[in-house]
Every structure is written in C-alpha cells, then in structure tokens.
Amino acid sequence: MPMPWTYRHASREWRAFLDDVKDGMGLVSDNMAYTAVDGVFQCYRKRVTAAQGLGFASVLPSVPRAIFVAGWQPLDPPLPFGSRAALVAEVKALRPHHNLTPDNAIEATSAALRRQILPADWERAMEALPPEASGFWDVPGVPEDELRPRII
C-alpha cells in the first residue's frame, strides 16, 4: 500500500488548513488560529464517546487529527452539547489570556476541515454520529461548492 496522501503532504495540507482557518476567522497569526482550532476540538471531543471521536478523527488530515487527540481523556463521560453560544464561550475560554477566537470559530474550523476532506469521507463520518454531534460541524449559509477540498 502506498503511503497515505495526508502523511506524505502533511506540511502542505496543514499550511492550507491553517490559512483557511485564519481567513475564515479573520485572524492574523498561526498561533491565534491554532488556539481557536484546539479550543474547537477540545469542546467537541468532550461531548462524544471515544468511538465517535476516533471515527471522526479518522477522516481528518494528519496534523488536525493529532491536535484532536492530543491530551484527550476519552474515558470521561461525554457532556451534553448545549447551546451554540455556550459551546462558543467554552472554545473562547481555552487559554483565556492568549485567546482571540471569534464567535464563528466552530463554523470556520468546520469549513476549513471540509476543504481538506473528500466529501464522501466527510459524509461517512457525519452519518456515523448522533445528530447533535454531526450538527456541531454545520456551516449554515456556506454554499457546498465552497466546502470542497482544495488539495487533492
């Protein structure tokens, strides 16, 4: 089997993802974008089982996948999803003295991910999740053609 594309081109893929995150959130630095993405991932994984989280992570590009699982305590019982405002507040609470994460962090992270993942893989991952877990990644108002992979 050949080496998976995401491993062979991890740096290129990560750069494209990070640039999409920065653009989508209106951020100016890689560090700001990383903190926002890390906050989104931590918020999400607190609300899914280990099996659900690992199923989702399996379709992520290699560097976001590593960020998603880094420091995760998968034996903790999942929390309820709650309102979008509460979820965004939690994302913004990560490293609060160094966090300039905007209100659209979840949607911008989702859009950036979808620009890296083949649509069939994304759909398969979403179909395996309960509605609230897959709904977390919704990007209302963004046309599907803007959510297609840019690097293939």
What's the pLDDT score for residue 108?
97
User: 126 pLDDT exceeds 90?
Assistant: yes
pLDDT in tens, 50-95: 999 999 999 999 999 999 999 999 898 999 999 999 999 999 999 8
Alpha helices in 1-152 (DSSP H): 5-8, 10-25, 30-45, 50-57, 62-69, 84-93, 105-114, 119-127, 131-135
Distance CA 107, CA 113 (A): 10
pLDDT in tens, 13-37: 999 999 999 999 999 999 999 999 9
User: 152 pLDDT exceeds 60?
Assistant: no
pLDDT in tens, 87-125: 999 999 998 887 889 999 999 999 999 999 999 999 999
Say which CATH superfamily domain 11-130 falls into: Uncharacterized conserved protein DUF2267 (1.10.490.110)
Place of tokens 């993802």: 17
CA dihedral 36, 41, 46, 52 (to 10 degrees): 160
Distance CA 92, CA 76 (A): 21
Give CA angle at 64 (63, 68), nearest 5°: 120
